[in-house]
Structure 1
Amino acid sequence: MQKTMKQFIPTLTLLLLSSANAQQAEPTSTEISAIPNEVFKTPKISNQSSIQSVSNEPVVAQRVNAGNTDKSDKSEFQAFVQYSTGKILNLYGQDFFSGSPSSFAPLQNTPLPTDYALGPGDEVVIRAWGGVDIDYKTTIDRSGNITLPTVGTISLAGVKAGDAESVIKASVAKLYRDFSMSVTFGRLRAITVYVVGHAKRPGSYTVSGFSTLVTALLASGGPNSVGSMRNVQVKRNGKTVGNLDIYSFIAKGDKSGDIKLQDGDTIFIPAAIGHIALTGKVNTPAIYELKSQNEALNNILEIAGGLPVIADPRRVFLERIDPTKSQPRNVEEFKLDNQGLNKSLKSGDIVTISPITPDFSNAVSLRGNVNQQLRIPYTNGMRIRDLIPNREALTTRATIARRNFEGLDVAATNQNSNSIAARIGNLSDEINWEYAVIERTDKETQSISLVSFNLGRAMADINSPDNLTLQPGDVVTVFSQNDIRVPASKRKVVVRVEGEVNIPGVYEMTPGDTIQSLIAKAGGATNNAYIFGAEFYREQVRKEQQINLEKAVRRLEAQVRSENVKVAANDTSNDAATASARIQVAKESSANAIARLRDLKATGRISLDLDPSENNEGLNKLPILKLENGDQLIIPSRPDFVHIFGAVNQESSLIWQKGATVDKYLQNSGLTPDADTENIFILRANGTVLSSTGRGWFSSINSYTLMPGDTIVVPERLNKETPYKVFTSGLKDWAQILSGFGISAAAIKSLRQ
């Protein structure tokens, strides 16, 4: 309930003011029946049935006959500063008056100052118990008195709030004994003050009887953009009785000039003497008012909160206007020494304080493939080994994280074996020991030169010529072999071999080793090895395949959109609704197919292109392919099936029969009526594609003898009236193209689902 009432305070205020004025005009008289002392009952004096919690909340400021409306204005000097510096600066202190008048009303039940002088219109609540029972609320009348039944008239005009209880108690004690008393205050009188001059909202204001200059200024919105915040005056009976510097109040909390207002006071806001702009590296960039002509810069800096640590006191720029000169603007530079701090400012000045230059005068830095980026002080004779004392300083944080298994739950029972194997040999970032570089800046020309050195020799021998002497400002960069690729003969080669070898595992090879060397190191192939179906994967190839796959998908997407537009344009159906639905279904179908195609990922498989007739006898016929770091070789056991899918009666895996041809398997599976027999192709177990069309292949594929693990793909015959089905139904060209990205037959089959 209390919170709800606060929301209606502004409205209630007007009613209270009307009531207060009425009471001041004619104090309410209440008939009270009192019982004398000689009767055996305790006398009771009351003018209310029940006294609830009484608020001494002052009246919220009410503005009457104001001359100007409240509006935010910008001074010409603010516009000039924005034009000159490109920055919008506020007037210092303006935010202090940014709230609405009701925002500054004192809170409910605010304690009344003990030195508050009571006067007509103030409400007094009197309670007494014991020898007399008093529960009475009254208002001081125009004569400054209250009338307490059975007691009489009590003068309270000018009595301080802290003394009111003793004054009233003394009057009651003349008639009654042995009682206790409490005097509190309800609604207080309102006074009228006038705000004139360069005020934001000049006019007359009805405010609380114990309002001060600051609260009245808050209620009236304060000075406007040209009004003074440093010389606000209170005039009373033709004399200036108060003077307030708002800057001192805001910046220092100094309220010595904040006097209490009386009814009829005039608050006069003169024009400001002048303004200056303070910008750059200061704690409070703003436009500041000068308190006097030629005020010292130090005074303004004190109000602004001083300078941040990154300010450069050696470089301060002052832009000044001198209208007497043909070129009225000039700029000067000075330091914030004693003379600079006492420099006199003039209205229109723009003072800019520069930031410090972030360069270090005595530092050398280390960065790159290192444990920690360093910046240390330079000392005479410092060398590379002083900056990099040992090899541990070159162990990167990423390496330490991998060694500590950070982010990896090694206890998980569902760890992917492929991902675990991929981490073998990759715990460390391999350092480029043969090349590191110093970036050196010439202080005179500010040009940068590069001084390279052999990091390995510098770390191996402290007396090595590669342990170069450093200079102040040098930046030393250490590279990994991934940052700058080193020759193949110097790279680490860690590869995996899996499947039908005697000792599958991860092996460190010598640069220049081949697939044959890897198989030999793994103990050779087993008797179950199916060399024709060997799968060889390389990471660099995977990245290139993925880029090309994404390009192909974008090209296909453009083709499908074009075909859909053509079909829509050439549709001659008389039923527009049916035609529209058919086109929409076609678009959705092609969009879904494209989405499935985007989900495919290149594998990085390199076809070894072995002749099927050589199989295990062709172990020595494997291509002589030099290994790279991260290569993976999988030698499967011989599968027992041939796979077939597409336009067949039953997609299945058929038992491989030695010497059996494509025609034989097609007879076993059976073709559907819409099978496109002219465009059948085979995805061979060695990763290549065999078709009846294209350069270098047989004119017919039906007589081809299949190998274990081969896959027959039978496309559907295209509907020429709906060319947009070329992808969703055909799988002619695209299956062959996708096989070039190392994508398996199973993945291609998924595109049809």
Structure 2
Amino acid sequence: MTGAKRIFPWFAAFAALFLASAAPAQIDEDSGASAVGADSAPSSVLQDDQRGGERVRTTLRQDQISGRRPPPFGSELFGQAAATGAGTIDPNYIVRTGDQVSVTTYGLVNETAVLVVDSEGNIALPNVGPVNVGGVRASNVNAVVNNAASRVYQDTVQIYATVIGAGQVQVFVTGPVENPGGHSGVGQDSVIGFLQRAGGIDADRGSYRHIIVRRNGNNIGNIDLYDFLLNGDLSGVELRGGDVIVVGQQGPVVSVSGDARSPFTFEFENAAGTGSELLLYARPRPEVTHVSVLGTRDDVPFNAYLPREEFAALTLFDGDRVRFEADAPSDTFVVRVEGAHTGPSAYVVNRGDSLGPLLARIPLDPLADEPMIHLERQSIAEMQRVLLQENLARLERVIYTDPAPTPAIAQARAAQATGLATFIARARQVQPRGLVSLPDDAALDQVLLEPDDVIIIPYISQTVVIAGEVELPQTMLWTPGQDSGDLVERAGGFTRLANRSDTLVLRPDGSVLRGRSVAIRPGDRILVPPKAPGHTIQLIRDIATIFGQIGLAAASAVRVF
């Protein structure tokens, strides 16, 4: 096999190796982590119930510099197309000019006619004359028509009348909307329906609070969409053909982020608003204690950080940015427990409590692998996530910018490029789990617990996994008294590509031992890495840096190859 052809299988094995064997975080360090060992109980990163899920956040200053704002409150109204108005007429619909009424006579006279309501609200009923149905509910039209016909026809002629279609009208929409102009609908359509047909209100220029309806040059209605959004109140304006909906210019806006149920950009009805008004709109979560405000006052940058109660009295102006914060740490928090135990799955601990006393309180299952107990820690996972992204970016630069000393190496790198790019894209999606191993000599009474900690208690395993560059990779039953070299021999010995001096043993808690004479315990995984082609040494070091610092599950990257 040539060097170039060996790159892909070697790199696949190398990725699997380091994904599975990265050094775990120790209790006295802030770097590194490991994957959960074979046969350990499944686990996941759990969030502290009192704090809620962590989110990647930008600062108010970063949002201000970039011009980012949340979408306007109510913008969801315009994420869907307006209904066409077709279908069965609502029995409570009020008949108006342009509507269609189907009239059927049977008996001595058998005929059907579709009659249009004229500008006076009448339909011209054959042999009877004009019958006024304008302003009548659709459910009452039949009675009105029969009453008028009874003055002409005797019992030998029966009549059935029903409204079959609302008349089409054209309404004009103007102002800061996406598609101003004339839009067709039916008389029963609301102002919101025509705004939807116009593509919605422009998020940067249009007002949700100052909308007027004009007819023949006169204002006939003022609409504040917040009345509908907050209270369900719809405009009572009945639209007619030729009416004009005018969306006003956007008023003062304040954007909301942080721990709020409604993180939107809100528009005040007047030139300024108050914190209490914004609290009503944004509905911050119960745990919020403080509010950050960033804006401008008299052309001077303004910053404030206030308790929630004081914020309610603050006057807010156009362009302010507000973030709600839960900034009063609780004296207690929740620690989760997963795996081989028979007690509760969550414990409430005091801030400052350590791991040792809590472990003493947890009743273990008889099958618990006590020496392999370890932690999942969210703060470690976040640090690992940052390191992963930084190192992947550096690896990408190495792949595409480092000059090749020889044409053969340049050709080999070009052959690697597609596979490596796929690998990097997949690796960017991986979420580190922040595992922390607990060495035998660790003073657990000195290990402080953190919010979001999860204690993982693996089950005792009866198997050992041998993988990598061995002739017969396999899983076999553990037997006492064997070391890593013995099990490699049982797996058929090393392949010709094996790096015989670098056999790795991975414990169930993620800790890693190196050598061919390591005593094997149940649940261990033995990985024999391959030799590296000489011209890929720098690439190997870059990849080793990533996975040596992060510690992720092997399956996350192996499938790339």
Q: Map of 1:272-671 to 2, 5 A cutoff?
A: 272-304=250-282, 306-309=283-286, 312-322=287-297, 324-325=298-299, 328-337=300-309, 339-355=310-326, 360-362=330-332, 371=341, 375-377=347-349, 388=360, 393-395=363-365, 398=368, 437-439=444-446, 538-542=482-486, 552-553=496-497
Bigger-Rg structure (1/2): 1
CA shift digits 1:427-470 (9 cap, x unpaired): xxxx99997521356xxxxxx9xxxxxxxxxxxxxxxxxxxxxx
The letter for the 1-side match of 2:144 is: V
Q: What displacement does 1:279 show? A: 0.8
Q: TM-score, normalised by structure 1?
A: 0.41
User: Does 2:194 correspond to 1:253?
Assistant: no
- Once the 2 structures are TM-superposed, how far is the Cα of residue 549 of structure 1 from its aligned partner? 5.8
Q: 1:246, 1:234 → 2: CA distance?
A: 13
Shift in Å at residue 233 of structure 1?
Answer: 1.0
Q: 1:546 to 1:247 in 2, by over 3 A?
A: farther
Q: Deviations over 1:451-502 (max 9, x none)?
A: xxxxxxxxxxxxxxxxxxxxx99x99999999xxxxxxxxxxxxxxxxxxxx
Q: Partner amino acid for 2:363?
A: A
Whole-angstrom distance in 2 between the partners of 1:555 and 1:142: 94
Aligned to 2:37: none
Shift of 1:336: 1.4
Query: Residue 440 and residue 129 in structure 1: after superposition, are their counterparts in 2 closer, same or farther (change >3 A)?
Result: same
Question: Paired residue for 1:215, among 193, 209, 219?
Answer: 193
Deviation readout 1:148-183 (Å, 9 max, x if unpaired) = 333334344555545433332122111223355421
Amino acid in structure 2 at the alignment position of 1:340? F
Asked if 2 retains the 8 angstrom alpha-carbon contact of 1:242 and 1:259, the reply is: yes
Distance 1:181 1:292, change over 3 A: same
Find the aligned partners of 2:516 and 2:201 in 1 and give their Cα distance: 78
User: What residue number does 1:184 align with?
Assistant: 162
What displacement does 1:367 show?
7.1
Pair 1:174–1:83, CA change in 2 (3 A): same
Q: Which has the higher contact order (CA 8 A, sep 6+)?
A: 2
Letter in 2 for 1:99: Q
Q: Residue deviations 1:705-742, cap 9 Å, x none? A: xxxxxxxxxxxxxxxxxxxxxxxxxxxxxxxxxxxxxx
* Paired amino acid for 2:247: I
Q: 1:183 to 1:377 in 2, by over 3 A?
A: same
Q: State whether residues 435 and 479 of structure 1, in contact with CA within 8 Å, keep that contact through their aligned partners in structure 2.
A: no
Q: 1:374 to 1:396 in 2, by over 3 A?
A: farther
- Mapped partners of 2:134, 2:148: distance in 1: 15
Per the alignment, residue 227 of structure 1 pairs with 206
The answer to whether the Cα contact below 8 Å between 1:113 and 1:161 also exists between their aligned partners in 2 is yes
CA distance in 1, matches of 2:214, 2:336: 69
SS in 2 for 1:192: strand
Amino acid of the structure 2 residue aligned with 1:91? P
Query: Are 1:164 and 2:141 matched, yes or no?
Result: yes
Q: Give the distance between the partners of 1:548 and 1:209, measured in 2 at CA.
A: 83
Q: CA RMSD in A?
A: 4.9
Gaps of 5+ in 2: 1-59, 371-437, 461-476, 501-514, 523-561
Evaluate the alpha carbon distance shift between residue 541 and residue 219 of structure 1 in structure 2; reply closer, same or farther with a 3 A threshold: same
Partner residue in 1 for 2:45:
none
Partner residue, 1:154: 131
Against the structure 1 CA distance between its residues 435 and 217, is the aligned structure 2 distance closer, same or farther, given a 3 Å change threshold? Answer: closer
1:107-146 deviations in Å (ceiling 9; x for gaps): 42242544x2432x32211124457645332223456543
Which AA in structure 2 matches 1:135? T
Distance in 1, matches of 2:303 and 2:482, equals: 66
The CA distance in 1 between the partners of 2:321 and 2:291, in whole Å, is 10
Instruction: Check the 8 A contact 2:70/2:265 in 1, yes or no.
Output: yes
Change in Cα spacing, 1:342 to 1:261, as seen in structure 2 (3 Å) is farther
C-alpha separation in 2, matches of 1:95 and 1:365: 38
Residues 217 and 539 (structure 1 numbering): CA distance in 2 closer, same or farther, change over 3 Å? same
For residues 342 and 433 of structure 1, the distance between their equivalents in structure 2, rounded to whole angstroms, comes to 57
Q: Counterpart amino acid of 1:219?
A: R
1:168 partner SS: helix
Alpha-carbon contact 2:369-2:459 (below 8 Å) kept:
no
Structure 1 residue identity aligned to 2:112: D
Cα distance between partner residues in 2 of 1:88 and 1:381: 41
Q: Which residue of 1 aligns with 2:240?
A: 262
Pairs aligned (count) = 362
The amino acid that maps onto 1:538 is Q
Letter paired with 1:235:
R
The 1-side partners of 2:327 and 2:143 are apart by 66
Select 1:97's aligned residue among 78, 81, 98: 78
Kindly tell me: are residues 265 and 434 of structure 1, through their superposed partners in 2, closer, same or farther at Cα, counting changes over 3 Å? Answer: closer
SS in 1 for 2:73: coil
The answer (yes or no) to whether the contact 1:82–1:89 under 8 Å persists in 2 is no
Look up the SS of the partner of 1:278 in the other structure. Answer: strand
DSSP-derived class of the 1:104 partner: coil
Q: Residue in 2 aligned with 1:524?
A: none
Equivalent residue letter for 2:143 = S
SS of the aligned residue for 1:229 comes to: strand
Instruction: Note the C-alpha offset of 1:316.
Output: 1.0
Structure 1: gaps (5+ residues) = 1-78, 401-430, 442-447, 449-471, 483-505, 510-536, 557-603, 607-626, 631-753
Whether contact under 8 Å (1:210, 1:260) holds in the other structure is yes
Quick check: 1:127–1:136 contact (8 Å CA) kept in 2?
A: yes
**CA distance in structure 2 between the aligned counterparts of 1:168 and 1:476, rounded to whole angstroms:** 75
Partner residue, 1:204: 182
